[in-house]
Amino acid sequence: MSLAAIFVFLLVSALQLLDRYLSLARKRGSHTDEQLKLRLEIKQLLKEADQLSTPSTFAQAAKLKRLAAAKEKELAKIQEQDIKGKQSLYDQYGRLLLITKVLIYAVFVLWFWSTPVTTVPQHLLQPFGKMFSWRGADSATGHVVVGVLPWIFLASRVSKLLCQKFDFILLRP
């Protein structure tokens, strides 16, 4: 029975990891070569404009700043188009992942409805033992029998916490 609990936990964790990866990919986005090239051009134009700080070169500096502003508008337009296209793709993947989660959780509920997922010592679930117990405690061993719904809930919460901690470790500067 404990293998079933591990299997459920690993599958729920994998789904949470995919969900977290999808949300991070949505936040980060991607930068195309064209966007990187425009950023470098803008940086170079502003650098040249800053070097032209004397009154005799004011017109040249203003012209470079206007050119940099035009390139920034072009970059913003490209990024907006890129975001619109990728947002719909991320939404489709998000819907597919949600449907997959619902189907897998439904299969687990149907599979383990009449049997417990695992049994654990009663002292491990001390304050919440009644919430997680399926049919109470086993009188022979004193272990609590855990049902599928509380186990899926617990596995999803724990795996979500682990994904957040894992992201924190990876994203630390």
Query: How distant, in Å, are the alpha carbons of 68, 83, 113 from that of 30?
Result: 22, 9, 44
Instruction: Look at residue 130 in the predicted model and tell me its pLDDT.
Output: 64
115-167 residue pLDDT tens: 777 777 777 777 766 666 656 666 667 777 777 888 888 888 888 888 888 77
Mean pLDDT in the chain? 79
Q: How far apart are CA 6 and CA 16, in angstroms?
A: 15
Q: What's the pLDDT score for residue 173?
A: 46
Answer whether 61's CB lies under 8 Å from 52's CB.
yes
* Residue range of the domain that includes 114: 2-171
Say what the pLDDT of residue 136 is. 61
3-state helix, strand, coil in the chain (%, to 5): 80, 10, 15
Mean pLDDT to the nearest integer, 82-108: 85
Q: What is the pLDDT of residue 120?
A: 76
Give the pLDDT mean for 38-65: 82
Nearby residues of 112 by Cβ (< 8 Å), 6 or more positions away: 4, 8, 147, 148
State how many domains the chain has.
1
Residue 141 is given by DSSP the state T
Is pLDDT at 25 greater than 90 in this prediction? no
Question: Are the C-beta atoms of residues 93 and 22 closer than 8 Å to each other?
Answer: yes
Residue that has been written with the tokens 């990728």 in this structure: 86
| Per-residue pLDDT band at 91 (split at 50, 70, 90) | confident
Strands of the chain (E only): list them: 118-121, 133-137, 143-146
